[in-house]
Amino acid sequence: MPDRAPALEARIEGLAVPECPRWYGGRLWFSDMHAGRVVLFDGDGSVRTIAEVPGDPGGLGWLPDGRLLVVSMRNRQVLRLDPEGLVLHADLGDHAEGKANDMVVDAFGRAYVGNFGFDLDRREEEKPTNVLLVEPNGTVHVVAEGLRFPNGMAISPDGERLIVAESYGQRLLTFDIEPDGWLSGGRVFADLTPNVPDGICIDEAGAAWVADPVYKQVFRVLDGGEVTHAYETGGLGAYACVLGGALRRVLYVCLAATSDPAKTVEQRAGQVGAIPVDVSGAGTP
């Protein structure tokens, strides 16, 4: 049986749906998805809006020069925050079916982006889709196909592996990252059935922390599928997580009562919780 962690401490409250947390520049960043904004948390309990994003912000990342990239989910775009404001970085519309999703950006500014593969809001039949590579100049390539709702992503500390949470596949996949950024050698990192993985992050031991909004828990899993730690998140679904704080030994977890946009903005029940862990975060995010 995995170790059971104590309850999370609520650090930020009153959010719509916090998603895609990142630890960057010694601070916590995340998308408040249905509130249409990217948020920065300085650690003193206050948050400030960095950018208002049309079409629901999703995945976040940074180019080598420090400019922020953010996914506009409904518009199926990657936007870039330049000094004059948000501009189009890449249009995913020719390749993404349904909403664009989470994203991870490597040290070279190459972005890996998932998408739903179908119209979830209209309850279309689920179908496999792809992972997209967005070059630093905005060029888009399909680099993996046949995934069932590719969602959270993480890159190993050496930059040589991409781990993808396949939500409808109920598993984590890992790919080799070639020198040109293309993917090869896909295999199962962990079969998580019956869990439904959403956002993920990795630690320096190579394990993945996984957020599950359906079973309302966050857990740590090794390559091969052994779960070492797990804790429940009560009445709130766990949508994403990241390791940050001192020595990157604080697990921040994005929590919400629902992802229904008809309810989230009105209810403002979203939170970011935190809990100390023993193994430091590594890689990206």
More confident residue, 61 or 119: 61
**Is 11 exposed, middle or buried, given 0-12, 13-18 or 19+ CB atoms closer than 10 A?**
middle
All structural domains of the chain, each given as residue ranges with its CATH number in brackets, are: 3-282 (2.120.10.30)
User: The whole model's pTM is what?
Assistant: 0.94
159-175 pLDDT, tens digit each: 999 999 999 999 999 99
Residue 192: phi and psi, rounded to 5, are: -110, 5
Going by C-alpha positions, the residue among 221, 229, 212 that lies closest to residue 275 is 229
| Tens digit of each residue's pLDDT (9 = 90 or more) over 6-64 | 568 888 889 999 999 999 999 999 999 999 999 999 877 678 999 999 999 999 999 99
Q: pLDDT value at position 1? A: 41
Contact criterion met (CB below 8 Å) for 69 and 79: yes
107-117 confidence digits (pLDDT tens):
999 999 999 98
Within a 10 A sphere around the Cβ of 27, how many other Cβ atoms?
12
pLDDT reported for residue 204: 97
d(CA 4, CA 94): 44
The yes-or-no verdict on residue 141 having pLDDT over 90 is yes
Cα atoms in the Cβ-side hemisphere of radius 13 Å centred on 17: 23
H/E run at residue 263 = helix 261-267
The pLDDT tens digits for 250-267 are 999 999 998 777 777 777
Helix (H, G, I), strand (E, B) or coil at 267: helix
Tokens in use for 118?
């179908």
Which strands form 85-91's sheet, in the order they lie side by side?
57-62, 68-72, 77-82, 85-91
- Counts of helices then strands in the chain (DSSP H, E): 1, 26
